Chains A and B, each alone.
Chain A
Amino acid sequence: MKNVIGYFRVSTDEQAQQGYSLDYQEETIKRFCDFRGYKIADSYREDCSGKDFERPQWKKIESKIKSLKGTSDSIDSIVILRHDRFARNLLLSFLEKAKFLKLGCEIEFVEGQIDETNPEALLLQAISYALPEIENKKISKRSKEGSHKARLSGCHTGIAPKGYVNSRLGKDSTLSFSKDSELIRESFEKMASGLYSADEVRRWLNSKGVKLCKNTFLNMIRNITYTGKIHVKPFLGDPSQIVIGLHPALISDEVFATANDVLDGRRKKMKFHDDKSDLYPLKGHLICPVHGRTLSAYGSKGRNNIYHYYVCTKNKCPRYPIDWAHKEVERILSNIQFSAQTIKSYKVVLEKLFSIEDVERKNTLLRIEGEIKRLQTQKQFIQGQYMDGLLPSSEYQELKNSIDVKLFENQRNFKDLSEVLTPYNEYLTNHVPMFEDLVSFYQKSNGKIKKKILSCIFSKKLYFENGKAAAPSFTQPIEILINASKVLENSKNKKEVISDLLFTLAPLLDKSCSWNSIIQYTIIRKLRS
């Protein structure tokens, strides 16, 4: 009794078109084996194309036959319904058959059996194996022709791209928007903006639930179908062409072209928002003492963190940690003190600038003031009329009351509005003006403001020497104000020295001094204060 394996194969299209269902194949093979007296050791169902033998179930059969070879359960043949179920490739069919014959296993067909003892059987075999291949090629050619014709008339063939679903327009196959279409449109616009890399947009799309791998996303951006067009591939001498499709466009031609330009690197990604002045406010204000070059700044990646430095672009120059450099500059700024009257003058300038914000309130106040004056004149006039007896008492009272009500309302509004804090006063309640505390103001400012302040204060670039910032050169007005405040400080000190003459008479505090002398000294201090 022959030990056999039943093999049933369909490819989805064939099954639908010709009705070679797996059940039909299995039933026929079973009856055939019963008739011949074969023992079906195992059976395998395959849903794969017959163009080659890269099929999962076929591989399993091969490994099983190899493993059982030489044993009592060895497989004698594989039973298949007909030649086209075996393969649709002439050359590969012969090769595969020869491979299995070496393993001691024949390929047997239910339909179209050939007596292989006859030498002419080879020809019949070749015809049997060639016919499915010819049939396959015919089908392929017909479907390609149909697809080409359909695409030329604007139909979409094949699987719908993301953002679309396959649909029908009468008899024509086309596309319509899917629920993801809005997200796909946004991803094209994001690409076209040039602010995001392709992978950033892809990850954004993934986060929204449209899962795409890197390659698929790139192919999507390059797919012209999204502009409402169809790409027709070259076919039988016809060149490749782009036709207007029957489906609606998801994006405009401009967005598509810009997104592709960005993808190809033809459009530069301008990172205007990438401003590092907050991180490196001293960049452009420091100079290398050796080479005289302006210091640059960079971040050095350490094991756990990024460490930032100001550095000379020439080699072998020391680099300065940004925190240390910032503290040094703040130290210099903390030495700049202004006199009380300088601060007062600065506040006058500041108040003037803030008054721009207060124009509306001031205009309203002027209008109300004018109204009050007008009402007061009216009141005086009716009083004069009444005194001269030109106005009866009742009318005078009526007019007077009316004017008094209006006057009261206006005076109340004037008072309320006058008591409102001006923008300048409101600012002063929450902030200390720059001249009062330069360092605090500098510390609180952003990088751009810091740069502006430094340009106003220092006339030359700063540099570091012997582990600290070298004496800076200030701008002329700052130099004048610093010198003036120093002179002022010295003159104050002189006055203090004169008034402390009595203080100098006190005994020196040293280890030898007695408790009596300490008490005397304390009393003198108290008296002086």
Chain B
Amino acid sequence: MITINQLSTNLKRDGIALTEQELSSIQILMVQLAKIEYQLYLDKKHEEKNGKLKTKLDIGIINLSETNKLKAA
């Protein structure tokens, strides 16, 4: 991810000087929000994949078994 030192150096360029504890809390927040954003990206990617799969099912490229048909329904 990003180290406290890197974060401190970056923020100092903006004239923001913070304590180590403050930097640590900002680091945690950034990781949390970045994970949310990354998860959203992954979800959309999977949705696209599923959408493609559904199209394949609709046009009959893939034939589901009886049990899977029920699950899909």
Chain A residues in the interface with B (C-beta under 8 A): 186, 189-190, 193, 339-342, 344-346, 348-350, 352-354, 427, 431, 433-435, 441, 445, 449, 452-453, 456, 475-478, 480-481, 484, 487-488, 491
Using a CB-CB cutoff of 8 Å, which residues 6-60 of chain B contact chain A? Answer: 6-7, 10-11, 13-16, 18, 22, 25-26, 28-41
Cross-chain contact of B34 among A189, A339, A350, A476 (Cβ < 8 A) = A350
In the complex, chain A residues whose CB is within 8 Å of the CB of B13? 341
Q: How many residues of B are in contact with the other chain, CB < 8 A? A: 30
Asked whether any CB of chain A lies closer than 8 Å to the CB of B70, the reply is yes
Docked-complex contact B2 and A434, CB < 8 angstroms: no
Task: Please give me the residue from chain B that is nearest to A433 by CB atom.
Answer: B37
In the complex, chain A residues whose CB is within 8 Å of the CB of B73? 186, 190
A-B contact pairs, 30 of them (CB 8 A): A186-B70, A190-B73, A193-B70, A339-B11, A340-B14, A341-B13, A342-B10, A342-B16, A346-B34, A349-B31, A352-B1, A353-B1, A434-B34, A445-B40, A449-B36, A452-B36, A453-B36, A456-B29, A456-B33, A476-B22, A476-B25, A477-B26, A478-B29, A480-B25, A481-B26, A484-B14, A487-B15, A487-B16, A488-B16, A491-B15
Docked-complex contact A475 and B29, CB < 8 angstroms: yes
**Assembly CA distance A79 to B3 (angstroms):** 111
In the complex, chain B residues whose CB is within 8 Å of the CB of A342? 10-11, 14, 16, 26
**Assembly CA distance A352 to B38 (angstroms):** 10
Q: A346-B34, A488-B14 are in contact. Are A477 and B40 (CB under 8 A)?
A: no
In the complex, chain A residues whose CB is within 8 Å of the CB of B41? 354, 427, 431
**Assembly CA distance A520 to B67 (angstroms):** 84
Chain B residues in the interface with A (C-beta under 8 A): 1-2, 6-7, 10-11, 13-16, 18, 22, 25-26, 28-41, 70, 73
In the complex, chain A residues whose CB is within 8 Å of the CB of B25? 476-477, 480
Docked-complex contact A477 and B22, CB < 8 angstroms: yes
**Assembly CA distance A441 to B2 (angstroms):** 22
**Assembly CA distance A243 to B71 (angstroms):** 32
In the complex, chain A residues whose CB is within 8 Å of the CB of B70? 186, 189, 193
**Assembly CA distance A480 to B20 (angstroms):** 12
Task: Please give me the residue from chain B that is nearest to A352 by CB atom.
Answer: B1
Q: How many A-B residue pairs have CB under 8 A?
A: 93
Docked-complex contact B16 and A484, CB < 8 angstroms: yes
Known: A477-B26, A484-B18. 17 other contacts (CB 8 A): A339-B11, A341-B10, A341-B16, A345-B6, A346-B34, A348-B6, A349-B30, A350-B34, A435-B30, A445-B40, A449-B36, A449-B39, A456-B33, A475-B29, A478-B29, A481-B26, A488-B16
In the complex, chain B residues whose CB is within 8 Å of the CB of A441? 37
By DSSP majority rule, is chain B's interface helix, strand, loop, or mixed?
helix
Docked-complex contact B16 and A449, CB < 8 angstroms: no
Docked-complex contact B38 and A353, CB < 8 angstroms: yes
Docked-complex contact A477 and B28, CB < 8 angstroms: yes
In the complex, chain B residues whose CB is within 8 Å of the CB of A434? 33-34, 36-37
**Assembly CA distance A346 to B28 (angstroms):** 11
In the complex, chain A residues whose CB is within 8 Å of the CB of B2? 345, 348-349, 352
Cross-chain contact of B32 among A340, A431, A433, A456 (Cβ < 8 A) = A456
Docked-complex contact A341 and B14, CB < 8 angstroms: yes
In the complex, chain A residues whose CB is within 8 Å of the CB of B16? 339, 341-342, 484, 487-488
**Assembly CA distance A339 to B11 (angstroms):** 8
Task: Please give me the residue from chain A that is nearest to B19 by CB atom.
Answer: A480
Task: Please give me the residue from chain B that is nearest to A345 by CB atom.
Answer: B10
Docked-complex contact B31 and A488, CB < 8 angstroms: no
**Assembly CA distance A475 to B22 (angstroms):** 12
**Assembly CA distance A190 to B34 (angstroms):** 41
**Assembly CA distance A427 to B41 (angstroms):** 8
Task: Please give me the residue from chain A that is nearest to B3 by CB atom.
Answer: A348
**Assembly CA distance A431 to B14 (angstroms):** 25
